[in-house]
């Protein structure tokens, strides 16, 4: 199929309506995945807006990152007229997603038990801290589950647990919510009935550290924190180089070790019988790595990158997030897209955002609409639900919607 035909084809989830009662990262991530895949995703916000819109510091990117390709309707659920709107909207959906504390949605009659009586085809995705069990009453955050789920232990140095440098559980928890929603849609096509799906931060984190749990199950040896790990490969590390630079270099097979030595003129190391196999080199790491660090210090990071690129060896510059805007690969492959910011001092200005890391039929999934302004689609969605203009005005006057 040519690119023009591909780009005009319907997106996979076109025609699917998703209503999300979400905030922060986990729930919005689920909605973003479904929206990028073509679903109509309607974000229900309080009349004063999702608080994520107004976060500073590390949270300043949350709303514009995870709410593209969505519509916004602002509803006051505490007012009977507003709650009626929310129930009508939610019961019109194929999928409802939420990530509030247990009991909040039931209080408003917006839980699965209530809504499924109005729409037996409804798929309802809960994003929670814990799946049902002894911990389900606890308030969870990404950092909480990283600490209790072994990820912070594995990331930090011994005695210094450190959370991962991204909202990994929130984002992946939302992704698993989206996977569950899509699986339920496929099952509904066979059964005609919807179902409730649960995705949880703690269980997601345990899945992430499952490889380390399995290492212990197989070997009987606890996994060491990553900074103290016993590497499976001799050359697999960050090296300080000329002019204060740093670069990650690896040689994970005997063939790569030979190429590494040949490329850099280390004939003596290649010929050393004590370095003949990967396991030999792993055992020799206490003396091999200091020697390699001494030799590689004569090169700049750029020089080593060129050598490793030329010989097909694994390497990586140590990049900061802001440097990725200028990454030649991301820009050449369409991995970044422009959006208009909806809130804050830069409202209306353009920023670049990252797209889902996949292609379908040779195409990246685009930004079809900017992150919405608060209540941007309220009037249109109310009309779609059958509210007459006078009724919409009455709802606005009563402050039930905005």
Instruction: Indicate which residues carry an active-site annotation.
Output: 170
What's the rounded Cα separation, in Å, for the pair 371 and 62?
A: 11
For the residues of 103-147, what is the DSSP string, one character each?
THHHHTT-SHHHHHHH-TT-EEEEEESS-SSTTTTS---HHHHHH
Tell me the torsion sign for CA atoms 106, 132, 194, 191.
negative
Taking each helix axis from N to C terminus, what angle separates 168-191 and 26-36, rounded to the nearest 10 degrees? Answer: 50
End-to-end CA distance of the chain: 44
351 touches 64 (CB < 8 A) = yes
**Are 218 and 288 in contact, with CB atoms under 8 Å apart?**
no
How far apart are the C-alpha atoms of 128 and 198, rounded to whole Å? Answer: 7
Cα–Cα distance for residue pair 385/92, rounded to 1 Å: 8
Burial track 186-221 (b if 16+ CB lie within 10 A, e otherwise): eebeeeeebbbbbbbbbbbbbebbeebeeeeeeeee
**How many whole angstroms separate alpha carbon 69 and alpha carbon 290?**
51
Contacts 24+ apart (CB under 8 A), 383-392: 385/85, 385/88, 385/89, 385/92, 387/85
- How far is 22 from 31, CA to CA, in rounded Å? 9
Cβ within 8 Å of residue 135, ≥6 positions away: 129, 202
What is the dihedral sign for C-alpha 73, 79, 84, 87? positive
CA distance 91 to 44: 13
Cα separation, 222 vs 229, in Å, equals: 10
In this structure, the number of other CB atoms found within 10 A of the CB of residue 71 comes to: 19
Residue appearing with tokens 């590689």: 296
């Amino acid at each position: 199929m040519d690119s023009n035909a591909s780009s005009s084809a319907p997106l996979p989830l076109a025609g699917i309506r998703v209503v999300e009662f979400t905030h922060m990262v986990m729930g919005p991530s689920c909605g973003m995945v479904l929206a990028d895949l073509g679903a109509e995703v309607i974000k229900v916000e309080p009349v004063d807006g999702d608080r994520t819109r107004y976060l500073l510091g590390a949270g300043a990117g949350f709303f514009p990152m995870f709410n593209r390709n969505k519509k916004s309707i602002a509803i006051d659920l505490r007012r009977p007229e507003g709650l009626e709107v929310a129930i009508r909207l939610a019961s019109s959906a194929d999928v409802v997603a939420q990530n509030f504390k247990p009991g909040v949605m039931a209080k408003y009659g917006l839980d699965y038990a209530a809504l499924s009586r109005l729409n037996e085809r409804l798929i309802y995705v809960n994003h929670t801290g814990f799946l049902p069990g002894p911990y389900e009453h606890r308030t969870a955050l990404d950092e909480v589950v990283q600490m209790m789920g072994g990820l912070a232990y594995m990331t930090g140095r011994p005695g210094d647990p450190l959370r991962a440098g991204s909202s990994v559980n929130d984002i992946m928890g939302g992704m698993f919510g989206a996977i569950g929603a899509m699986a339920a849609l496929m099952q509904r096509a066979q059964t005609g009935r919807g179902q409730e799906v649960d995705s949880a931060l703690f269980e997601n984190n345990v899945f992430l550290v499952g490889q380390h749990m399995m290492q212990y199950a197989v070997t009987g040896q606890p996994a060491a924190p990553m900074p103290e790990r016993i590497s499976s490969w001799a050359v697999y590390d960050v090296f300080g180089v000329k002019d204060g630079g740093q670069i990650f270099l690896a040689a994970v097979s005997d063939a790569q070790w030979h190429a590494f030595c040949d490329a850099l003129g280390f004939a003596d190391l290649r010929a050393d019988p004590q370095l003949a196999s990967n396991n030999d080199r792993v055992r020799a790491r206490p003396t091999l790595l200091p020697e390699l660090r001494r030799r590689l210090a004569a090169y700049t990071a750029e020089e080593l990158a060129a050598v490793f690129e030329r010989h097909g060896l694994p390497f990586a510059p140590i990049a900061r997030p802001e440097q990725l805007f200028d990454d030649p690969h991301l820009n050449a492959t369409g991995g970044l897209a422009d959006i208009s910011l909806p809130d804050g001092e830069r409202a209306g200005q353009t920023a670049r955002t990252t797209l889902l890391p996949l292609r379908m039929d040779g195409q990246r999934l685009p930004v079809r609409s900017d992150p919405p302004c608060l209540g941007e689609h309220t009037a249109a969605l109310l009309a779609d639900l059958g509210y007459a203009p006078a009724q919409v005005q009455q709802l606005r006057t009563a402050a039930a919607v905005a």
